[in-house]
Structure 1
Amino acid sequence: MADLDLHPFYITTAISYPNGRPHIGHAYEAIAADVIARFQRLQGRKVRFQTGTDEHGLKMARKAEEQGRSPAELADQMSGYFKAMCDALNISYDRFIRTSEPDHHRASQAIWQAMEASGDLYLDRYEGWYSVRDEAYYDESELTEGEGAEKLSPQGTPVEWTVEESWFFRLSRYQDYLLGLLKQPSFLEPASRRNEMIAFVEQGLRDLSVSRTSFDWGVKVPGSDNHVMYVWVDALTNYLTGLGYPDYKPDGMDAFWPASLHLIGKDIVRFHSIYWPAFLQSAGLPAPRKVFGHGFLLNRGQKESKSLGNVTDPLALAEVFGVDALRYFLMREVAFGQDGSYSPEAIVLRANAELANSFGNLAQRTLSMIVKNMDGKLEAFERADADVALLQTVTIACGTELPRAFNDLSFSTGIEAWLRAVYACNQYVDDQAPWGLKKTDPDRMKAVLQTLFIALRDLAIAIQPVVPQKAAALLDQLGIPEGDRSFAALADTDWFNRLVTSGFAVSPPMPLFPRLELPAKDDGAD
């Protein structure tokens, strides 16, 4: 991403289609977006973070019909599961949006009317292939053949021949504009996704069918009540709805549009980097600053599916392993933008090695020794060369390397830098052996323990976006006021003296990260 700045930051996830319960992929995207939002807040930026559910479309209408109830009843129930997932995973959204809400219908109709005023909508007849599961239209040239000569979309989903009256959007008019946008490296990442979309546009764009008459579960087309909007027109507009569009207010559109980042899965890049910018340009609105298409999360190297019986409930994982341990694993394990894999064994291995044994144990033994050997009291001390060297290592990792990597959405790289600082602290403990200094050089023992205390504060501040609950618990134990936990606070050289002067005393610590055990096979976690 661009260099750090203090402009307002608007981040969105893709809104989830609630025709089934949340799976680990939904959790992965929500956690990644939350890490970004928390990181940007700690940088001092005004942040707005939106997630939610995409409730319209033929897929929801058919699912409800199968169950003998209305689409609205299905949406109410299923959307609740997604909101519960976000709340359980400590997702710090500012709005959980539902596309069935009245203000969203208003915003969707407003952007439709703006596109119509630009002369980009016209009524015609649609004949072509449509995937209900993808809610997407496909050209014949994009299809593959499945078993029994069944035609499949590029995503491997069934398609059906559709014939109906439809409003069309003049997508072809925006080919040059889109190519110019896509050739800006910062607009769409990773580069592999950008190259795919450039190739798609260069093949030539056809006008896009943007309404349906074969069902009525959706946003009504203004002036054509027998038409509902194509679900992607409606769905994409949620990013504007959350800012109060079509109204412009200081805490809404005026402050936060264009969006800083649309965080989405790689399978919906076309909608966000081609259709959406074209709709916005037609409506007289700027494109988002960045679209990032992350990879898939695989279960032991396999894509999850009901037929394989390997669909994972993210709340079951969080319950077994802990929310922060799960968040840490997902951000640490996968190079963001690429596909990644997880398993209960991998979560336990990494959480125990890095969180329990390295960071958690560092905090536990440092604070325990301060309580035992110093009655929990802090005092001014002279730093030896080894102390200065350690704190410089920690400062660079926490104040420079991790923020730079997180700003580039390279979470695993940033966590690796942080972890090197954790390892440096543990090596320092082994080298200085404070347990042996109490009798031989008590002043040196105090200096070593307080150097570690200072390092722990910096490490806890830096890792807050990833493990917010555990980092807050440690910062509480360290006596750090809530207002002094930003990245800017890392440059504050007087905080320790203020803490000493205040008379703060360390209390016996509570373990941060208890060691994890693999669950029994029948508990649903794997």
Structure 2
Amino acid sequence: MRNFYITTPIYYVNDKPHIGHAYTSIAADVIARFKRLDGFNVKFLTGTDEHGEKVEKSAKHFGYETQEFVDKMALNFSNLAKDLNLSNDDFIRTTETRHKDFVTKIWRTLLANGEIYLGKYAGWYSVRDEAYYSEAELVGGKAPTGASVEWLEEPSYFFKLSAWQDRLLAFYEANPDFIKPESRRNEVISFVKSGLHDLSISRTSFTWGIPVPNDGKHVIYVWLDALFNYVSALGTEQFWPADLHIIGKDILRFHAVYWPAFLMAANLMPPKRVFAHGWWTNEGEKISKSLGNVINPYDVMDKYGLDYFRYYLMKEMTFGNDGNFSYPSFIDRINSELVNKVGNLIHRTISFIYKNCGQKMPYPAEYAEKDRAILSHSYQLIEKIRVLVDNQSLKQILEEIIDLANAANVFIDEEAPWKLKESDPIRMQTVMYVLAEVIRVIAVLLQPFMPESSAQALDCLDVKQRTFNSLNSANGVIPGTEIVQPKIIFNKIE
């Protein structure tokens, strides 16, 4: 069995979960579920990033001990994972012993390999971004992200990032699929070509972090600490290198420049791919706390249900681009696609079978040409979808599934089984069997996106085999199987 290792970034506990966290997590979950259903041995990791000056300051501000504060905040994210119905196998916290021990070991390896030296840092630092910026990168005296920066001078350990410039460029050239989408790859290459400077990787002005081995005055820079969660969570090297890191585009530099350099410097393989997705706007406006337009995933889930939320996020935005969240488009997409196309197909087909085929799955006679065409389309779809999954083209997968539902709706209208019931009951049974088969394929393929709704549809057909290797005629719905009266799975949003 082939291994597949996928991760979300670890989420910074200073934040409350918002739509961006939900989006990244659901996208990773969809891919993890696809790979499991396709016979892979999957490891899916998410978690929280809990060190750094920002966290220490926030804890003090809210009147908590720092550990007590991170315990409370991490709970928001572990709860979100459950509430989004994520299938993650592990949840890593950077304050766990397994992680701290691993990072300490990595530091010693980097030191032994001559990749670290002690010097003095003087430059611009953003507490909000936990990032260092050169004078040239500042925009109007602020970080490129808009965060305020402060001039910092303190003793610091440095990682010899400048020595990795040519090796990183050679690595990108040898691994053209390492950074996706292509626009992000170009951005990273251009950044690295513009010149890399050694990176400050320790701080002395606060204490909330992993102490530098043999020099307790310093704590390890939060990004060096955080990135190694992807390896520290594994315990063994069975799943390394990771197949896919899903991240937001704001943390691309850390994952596509610093991370492979840290890994190679510590004698470890870089991951196979870093995919940086876009950002959401809210009704066309940039989302920010100051504008008060942050989208709370719970507000949407409580109002419309989890599966509708998962579907909309994956269908609305082309993965890799920016996208706009709006309630009118949410309602329109759910009603026009899920309710009118998929839901309508399932309900009208199964209700008709229940009423007109003695509450049992029909027995097909010989297939007509158009029966074979739509069944062949259904069974072959998985091949097309495998390619889309491996390119992280999640919206396009849903488009293919909706197209199949459309084709089935056209088929039922053309065949008019309500007329065949009188004129040709044997043909009617065949038509209804073909439709039940197409619905089985649609429901199996929708499982990664909408696990609960898909399960309900498959239960209606009494389908036991639900993995992708069942998407063929040999595993079709069984004629004569008793079915229960169907309930509406996708309710219209008024």
TM, length-normalised to structure 2: 0.98
What's 2:90 paired with? 95
In the TM superposition, 1:448-463 aligns within 5 A as 448-463=431-446
User: In the TM superposition, what is the alpha-carbon distance from 1:445 to its structure 2 partner?
Assistant: 1.1
Confirm or deny that 1:168 pairs with 2:148: no
Confirm or deny that 1:509 pairs with 2:452: no
- Gaps in structure 2 of 5+ consecutive residues: none
Q: Percent identity?
A: 46
Confirm or deny that 1:181 pairs with 2:171: yes
Confirm or deny that 1:361 pairs with 2:344: yes
Q: Check conservation: 1:332, 1:412, Cα contact below 8 A.
A: yes
Distance in structure 1 (CA, Å) of the matches to 2:202 and 2:412: 66
Superimposed CA distance per residue, residues 412-436 of structure 1 (whole angstroms, 9 cap, x where no aligned partner):
1111111111100000111111112
Secondary structure of 1:465's aligned partner: coil
Would you say how many aligned residue pairs link Structure 1 and Structure 2?
Answer: 492
The equivalent position to 1:15 in structure 2, one of 10, 28, 31, is 10
What's 2:144 paired with? 154
Distance in structure 1 (CA, Å) of the matches to 2:164 and 2:289: 39
What's 1:197 paired with? 188
Q: Which amino acid aligns with 2:225?
A: D
Q: Check conservation: 1:220, 1:228, Cα contact below 8 A.
A: yes
Secondary structure of 1:264's aligned partner: strand
Distance in structure 1 (CA, Å) of the matches to 2:290 and 2:266: 43
Q: Check conservation: 2:245, 2:273, Cα contact below 8 A.
A: yes
What's 2:131 paired with? 136
Q: Which amino acid aligns with 1:321?
A: Y
What's 2:216 paired with? 225
What's 1:391 paired with? 375
Confirm or deny that 1:301 pairs with 2:292: no
User: In the TM superposition, what is the alpha-carbon distance from 1:496 to its structure 2 partner?
Assistant: 3.0
Distance in structure 1 (CA, Å) of the matches to 2:384 and 2:305: 27
Q: Check conservation: 1:182, 1:197, Cα contact below 8 A.
A: no
User: In the TM superposition, what is the alpha-carbon distance from 1:380 to its structure 2 partner?
Assistant: 4.1
Q: CA RMSD in A?
A: 1.2
Q: Which amino acid aligns with 1:108?
A: V
User: In the TM superposition, what is the alpha-carbon distance from 1:105 to its structure 2 partner?
Assistant: 0.3
In the TM superposition, 1:56-455 aligns within 5 A as 56-145=51-140, 151-183=141-173, 184-244=175-235, 252-253=236-237, 255-378=238-361, 379-396=363-380, 398-455=381-438
Superimposed CA distance per residue, residues 292-321 of structure 1 (whole angstroms, 9 cap, x where no aligned partner):
111011111222112211111101111111
Distance in structure 2 (CA, Å) of the matches to 1:7 and 1:272: 25
Distance in structure 2 (CA, Å) of the matches to 1:195 and 1:382: 55
Q: Check conservation: 2:364, 2:433, Cα contact below 8 A.
A: no
Secondary structure of 1:97's aligned partner: strand
Secondary structure of 2:10's aligned partner: coil
Superimposed CA distance per residue, residues 234-253 of structure 1 (whole angstroms, 9 cap, x where no aligned partner):
10010011101xxxxxxx31
Secondary structure of 1:239's aligned partner: helix
Distance in structure 1 (CA, Å) of the matches to 2:36 and 2:4: 9
Superimposed CA distance per residue, residues 177-225 of structure 1 (whole angstroms, 9 cap, x where no aligned partner):
1111223321111111111111111111111000111111111111111
Q: Check conservation: 1:28, 1:297, Cα contact below 8 A.
A: no
What's 1:485 paired with? 466
Q: Check conservation: 2:8, 2:46, Cα contact below 8 A.
A: yes
User: In the TM superposition, what is the alpha-carbon distance from 1:72 to its structure 2 partner?
Assistant: 1.2
- Gaps in structure 1 of 5+ consecutive residues: 1-5, 146-150, 245-251, 518-526
Distance in structure 1 (CA, Å) of the matches to 2:389 and 2:264: 30
Q: Which amino acid aligns with 2:490?
A: F
User: In the TM superposition, what is the alpha-carbon distance from 1:31 to its structure 2 partner?
Assistant: 0.4
Distance in structure 1 (CA, Å) of the matches to 2:39 and 2:459: 21
Secondary structure of 2:157's aligned partner: strand
Superimposed CA distance per residue, residues 248-289 of structure 1 (whole angstroms, 9 cap, x where no aligned partner):
xxxx31x21000011101011110011111111111000001
List structure 1 runs of 4+ shifted beyond 6 angstroms.
none
Confirm or deny that 1:476 pairs with 2:454: no
Distance in structure 1 (CA, Å) of the matches to 2:4 and 2:476: 32
Confirm or deny that 1:24 pairs with 2:19: yes
User: In the TM superposition, what is the alpha-carbon distance from 1:344 to its structure 2 partner?
Assistant: 1.4
Distance in structure 2 (CA, Å) of the matches to 1:286 and 1:402: 29
Distance in structure 2 (CA, Å) of the matches to 1:241 and 1:325: 35
Distance in structure 1 (CA, Å) of the matches to 2:117 and 2:474: 66
70-79 vs 207-216, which moves further = 70-79
Q: Check conservation: 1:130, 1:159, Cα contact below 8 A.
A: yes
Distance in structure 2 (CA, Å) of the matches to 1:98 and 1:477: 40
User: In the TM superposition, what is the alpha-carbon distance from 1:395 to its structure 2 partner?
Assistant: 2.5
Distance in structure 1 (CA, Å) of the matches to 2:476 and 2:17: 44
What's 1:3 paired with? none
Distance in structure 1 (CA, Å) of the matches to 2:474 and 2:379: 15
Secondary structure of 1:312's aligned partner: coil
377-386 vs 257-266, which moves further = 377-386
Distance in structure 1 (CA, Å) of the matches to 2:167 and 2:487: 57
Secondary structure of 1:328's aligned partner: helix
User: In the TM superposition, what is the alpha-carbon distance from 1:7 to its structure 2 partner?
Assistant: 2.7
Secondary structure of 2:103's aligned partner: helix
